[in-house]
Structure 1
Amino acid sequence: MIKKGSKVKVLRPESYWFQYTGKVVKVEKDIKYPVLVRFDKESYNGVNSNNFSLDELQLVS
């Protein structure tokens, strides 16, 4: 179960953070991309977080 504070690995191939691990900041309901994940690494335009769907993330122990 993915919840706030969980460590997750990104499985979305077109994402800048594909195969990187981040921390879940927020989990919402009833929207297409309910999970907000924050990363240590910034993207090329200075962004360090993105929203993902539950099936695009894998829980890391």
Structure 2
Amino acid sequence: FDVCIYFDGDTLLEAVKQGNCFDIILMDIEMKRMNGISAAKIIRKIDEDVQLIYISSHEEYVLQLFD
């Protein structure tokens, strides 16, 4: 396995835009600068096949994850 760690949504999104291809992305919903939900919406437009897995203790976001 190759594992990459990004500490905010902006950095992860930039990596995807630069052509880094991921099979699975595990991300928190709340991150610095760009949250996981916003980052995932853009990533999904770039890569429809990547599996997105959210990790969070914030129940109030649950319905937004299925947009």
- Please indicate, yes or no, whether the TM-score normalized by the shorter chain is above 0.5: no
Pick the structure with greater CA Rg: 2
Give the TM-score band, short-chain normalised. under 0.3
| TM value normalised by structure 1 | 0.27
More strand by share: 1
More helix by share: 2
